[in-house]
Structure 1
Amino acid sequence: MNFIERKFVELHNHEPELTTPSDMDAFWEEVLHETRTKPLNAVRTPEETPMLGTETYRVVYEGIDGTPVHGYYSVPTVFGKENYPCIVFFHGYTGSKGLPEHFATYLMSGYAVFSIDIRGQAGDTGDLSPLQDGTTKGWVTKGITDPRTCYYKSIVTDALRAVDWAAGQPEVDPKRVGVSGGSQGGGLSLAVSALGDRHAFAIADIPNMCYMDWSIFNTTGSITEAAQYITKYSERLDTVLKTLSYFDNMNLAHRIRIPVLVSVGFKDSVCPPEAVFAAYNRITSPKQIEMYPFNGHTPGDKHIRKVLEFIRSQVQ
C-alpha cells in the first residue's frame, strides 16, 4: 500500500471526538422556529442580462433580524418546461452572489439557480445584527461569545430562508431543490442540509465549518479570525470554542438525511482533509466524496462534470 492509499484509509477512518454542547438540540429547535415563523417579505424584480433563453430576477428577502439579503434568481425558460429543478448557491468567504452569467453552466443544463449574498461580505447585503464583545478583522468573530448572536447563526439562517424562498417559486419543482457551494458555501450547504427539510440534495465542495476546534489551531482559512480574537481576548477561549461547536458540521452531520456530494483537496490548508473528513465520516445518508490528492483549495476545472452528473442523478 503506497502513501496515498494509506492516506485514503486513514481519512476514511478519521472520527475525532465530538464537541456537541449539551443544549444543542434545544438551541437549534429555538433557532429553526424563529427562522420559519418570521415572514420573508421577499420581492423579486426582473433583471436584464446578456443571456438568451433565460429569465432573471433580482431578489431581496429578509433575514430573521430584518437584514435585507440580496440574490439573483435565474430560470432557463429556453427549455419550455412548466417547472425546473433549482440549485440554491452559497459563495465562498469574501465573495458575493456574483452575476447570473456565472451560472450559465447550470442554466444550460436545465436548472434554475438562486445565488445569494452572504451578509456583510462583498455583495449588496449588509448586516443589521448588533456588534458586541469586540471583534477582529473580517466577519467571523461578530457576536462570537454567544451562539444566539454569532455571525454563523446569521448566515446559516439566511441560507435556510433562501431555500425556503426558492422552493416556493412557481417555476421551481419544490421536490427537486438542491444546495451547493464551495469553502464557506460548502460549509453552509452541509449545515443547511443538517438543519433544513425543504431540499433534496447537496453539493459541498471543499467545505469549511468542519472540526472547528481543530481548524482554529491548524488551518489558514477564515477561522483564523477567531484565533486572532482569542489572542486579543485570551480569557474567552472556552466561550469561543463552545460557541463554534453549535455550528460545527462535525457535530451536525449525523442529522443529514439527503444525498450529499463532497469534494476535498489533500493539500488544502484552508479546509484540510482532516477537517472535511471529520464531518463527512459522520454523515449516514447516501454520500460520495471526490478526493483530489494533489489539489489545494480547489477541486479543479474538471470537477464541474462530477457535480452536474450528481445533480442529474438526483433530479431525474
Structure 2
Amino acid sequence: MKRLLLILCLFRFVDLAAQPSERFVKILVTPDHADWLYKPGEPVKFMISVYRNNVLLKGAKLHYEIGPEKMEPTKKETTTLKDGTLAVDGGTMKTAGFLRCIATADVDGKEYRGLTTAGFAPDQIKPTVENPADFQAFWDKAKADLAKIPIDARMTLLPERCTELTNVYQLNLQNINGSRFYGILCIPKKEGKYPAILRVPGAGVRPYNGMIAEADKGFITLEVGIHGIPVTMEPVVYDNLARGALNGYPMANLDDRDRYYYKRVYLGCVRAVDFLVGMPQFDGQNLGVTGGSQGGALSIITTGLDSRIKWLAAYYPALSDVTGYLHGRAGGWPHMFTGDNLAYNNKPDRIKTTGYYDVVNFARLVKVPGRYSWGYNDEVCPPTSMYAAYNVIPGPKELDTAYLDTGHWTYPEQTEKMMNWLMTQLKGGGK
C-alpha cells in the first residue's frame, strides 16, 4: 500500500513535464508568421478559431485580450463568432518582447481558453535585474564556508526500487547551518567508471523516485529535493508541509541575502556535486545537470557556481529576471513584484537580495555547452524573463524552438530529445 501511495503521489506532481489533457472544445489562436517572430514595429494578426469535435463551432460567444505578456491588455473585445473564426489585428510592439493574445469562449456554460504569444526580437531582450559588484565574492565565500563542512554522506538502500542493473539509495548529505540535503541516488551495479547526471527539482514539496531508467543505461544519477527533508516519506507529509511550514518558501527571508531560503538550496546543489565527483564509480570528468522550471533555474545556477559541471540541459528556467515587473514588463516566477506580492516585496532590501539569486547573474558565468527548451505560451515562466537570462550566457548554447505552442509543460518528444542530447554528451565526452 505504501508503494502504491508513493506512485500516486509521484504522478500527482509531474506538473512541470506533463502535457495538458485533451479538451472537448479547442480554441486555436494562430499568428500570421509561421515562426511566431516579428520585428519591432511590425504588425501581427491573430486568427482565432473555435472547434468542437474538430469542426468549427458557429455562434460561440468569444472574449479576447491582447497585450504584452503578464501585463494589462491593450486591446479587448467580446463578440459572437458567426462562422467559428475571427481575424484580429493584434497591433505591434516597439521594443523587444512578447505580445500575447488570450481568447476564451463560453460553450454550454463552460469556459474554454486558448492563447498564442508573438515574439518581437527576443534575442535583443536585456535583463533588468541588478548585477551586484560583489556577486562573485559573495558566492565564493559561501562555497568556501560550505567546503569547511564535512559531506557526511549517508546512504540507505531502497531494495524495492532496485533493478537488475541498478542499486537505488536514499542519500542525505550535510549542508550549511546544520541542515541536510536529500535525494535519490542510483548507481549501476556493474563494476566500472560512469558519467553522472544531477537532476534538480521543479517547485513544490514532494517525494522523488530517482532516475532509475537512466542509471540502467550506464549513468550514475542523483535526483535531489531542496527542502532538507527525506524524499521517501508518505504523501500526506509533503501535502502538510506545502500548506504549512513551507508555504511561500520562494520568498522566505528575502530581506536578507544571507538568510534567504535559496542560499541553502543553491549550496545544497554544490554539495550534491561534491558527492558525485568524489564517488569511486564516477569517471572523473563527465557530469551534467538538468531540470525544469525551478529545476531549470537550478541547472543554470549550479553550472554558474561550479565548474565541475560540464553540460547542462534546462527547461523553462524560473527565477529569471524577477525584477522585470518593476520595469513595466513580465518578470520571472515566483512573480514576487506583481499582484499581491508587490506591496510586500517592493522594498530596497528585498530588491537588492534578488540580485544575488537571480538566474541572470549566474547565466553570465556559464561557459560550458548547454541546451535549453521552452515555448512562447508559458504563463508561469514568461519567455521575456527566460530570454533575459539566455541572452547573457557566454558559453556555447542552443535553444530548441521547435515547441513554440508549449506553456509550462513539455511534449514527450521534447524531453526525449533533450535527454538524448545530454546523455550523448556525457557518453561521448562532448566529442
Corresponding position of 2:215: 107
Structure 2 residue 389 is matched with structure 1 residue 279: yes
Structure 2 residue 196 is matched with structure 1 residue 164: no
What displacement does 1:137 show?
3.8
Counterparts of 1:215 and 1:97, CA distance in 2: 33
Counterparts of 2:263 and 2:187, CA distance in 1: 29
Q: Mark the CA change 1:188 to 1:175 in structure 2 (over 3 Å): closer, same or farther.
A: same
Q: Let me know the Cα RMSD of the aligned residues.
A: 2.7
Counterparts of 2:301 and 2:215, CA distance in 1: 25
Corresponding position of 2:366: 256
Corresponding position of 1:192: 302
Counterparts of 2:281 and 2:419, CA distance in 1: 20
Counterparts of 2:205 and 2:165, CA distance in 1: 27
Corresponding position of 1:130: none
What displacement does 1:138 show?
1.7
Counterparts of 2:273 and 2:221, CA distance in 1: 11
1:5 partner amino acid:
L
1:27 partner amino acid:
F
Counterparts of 1:220 and 1:245, CA distance in 2: 13
1:238-270 deviation line (CA, Å, top 9, x unaligned):
211110111111122121121111111211111
Asked whether the 8 Å contact 1:90–1:188 carries over to 2, the reply is yes
Q: TM-score, normalised on structure 1?
A: 0.86
In the TM superposition, structure 1's runs of 4+ consecutive aligned residues that sit over 6 Å from their partners are none
Aligned length in residues: 302
Q: Mark the CA change 1:121 to 1:46 in structure 2 (over 3 Å): closer, same or farther.
A: closer
Q: TM-score, normalised on structure 2?
A: 0.64
Asked whether the 8 Å contact 1:245–1:251 carries over to 2, the reply is yes
Counterparts of 1:54 and 1:145, CA distance in 2: 44
1:36-70 deviation line (CA, Å, top 9, x unaligned):
22211111122211533211122111111111221
Asked whether the 8 Å contact 2:156–2:170 carries over to 1, the reply is yes
Asked whether the 8 Å contact 2:129–2:324 carries over to 1, the reply is no
Counterparts of 2:405 and 2:264, CA distance in 1: 34
2:312 partner amino acid:
A
Higher mean C-alpha deviation, range 143-152 or range 296-305: 296-305
Structure 2 residue 287 is matched with structure 1 residue 177: yes
1:30-109 correspondence to structure 2 within 5 Å: 30-48=141-159, 49=161, 51-77=163-189, 80=190, 82-96=192-206, 98-100=208-210, 103-109=211-217
Corresponding position of 1:129: none
What displacement does 1:105 show?
3.5
Q: Structure 1 unaligned runs (5+)?
A: 127-134
Asked whether the 8 Å contact 2:156–2:169 carries over to 1, the reply is yes
Counterparts of 2:185 and 2:304, CA distance in 1: 24
What displacement does 1:25 show?
2.2
Work out which of the two has the higher radius of gyration on C-alpha atoms and give 1 or 2.
2
Asked whether the 8 Å contact 2:310–2:369 carries over to 1, the reply is yes
Asked whether the 8 Å contact 1:96–1:118 carries over to 2, the reply is no
Q: For 2:260, which of 130, 139, 150 is the aligned residue?
A: 150
Asked whether the 8 Å contact 1:46–1:57 carries over to 2, the reply is yes
1:31 partner amino acid:
A
1:215-230 correspondence to structure 2 within 5 Å: 218=330, 221-224=333-336, 228-230=340-342
Counterparts of 1:225 and 1:154, CA distance in 2: 23
Higher mean C-alpha deviation, range 165-174 or range 103-112: 103-112
Q: Mark the CA change 1:230 to 1:4 in structure 2 (over 3 Å): closer, same or farther.
A: closer
1:52 partner amino acid:
E
Counterparts of 1:35 and 1:310, CA distance in 2: 32
Q: Mark the CA change 1:228 to 1:168 in structure 2 (over 3 Å): closer, same or farther.
A: farther
Q: Mark the CA change 1:104 to 1:226 in structure 2 (over 3 Å): closer, same or farther.
A: farther
Q: Kindly indicate which of the two structures has a greater share of residues assigned to helix.
A: 1
Asked whether the 8 Å contact 1:94–1:122 carries over to 2, the reply is no
1:167-219 deviation line (CA, Å, top 9, x unaligned):
11112223111111111111011011111122211111111111111268746
Q: For 1:27, which of 118, 138, 143 is the aligned residue?
A: 138
Corresponding position of 2:400: 290
Counterparts of 1:263 and 1:222, CA distance in 2: 19
Asked whether the 8 Å contact 2:319–2:334 carries over to 1, the reply is no
Asked whether the 8 Å contact 1:76–1:111 carries over to 2, the reply is yes
Q: Kindly indicate which of the two structures has a greater share of residues assigned to strand.
A: 2
Corresponding position of 2:36: 4
Q: Mark the CA change 1:136 to 1:85 in structure 2 (over 3 Å): closer, same or farther.
A: closer
Q: Structure 2 unaligned runs (5+)?
A: 1-31, 39-117, 238-244
Asked whether the 8 Å contact 1:140–1:225 carries over to 2, the reply is no
Asked whether the 8 Å contact 2:320–2:331 carries over to 1, the reply is no
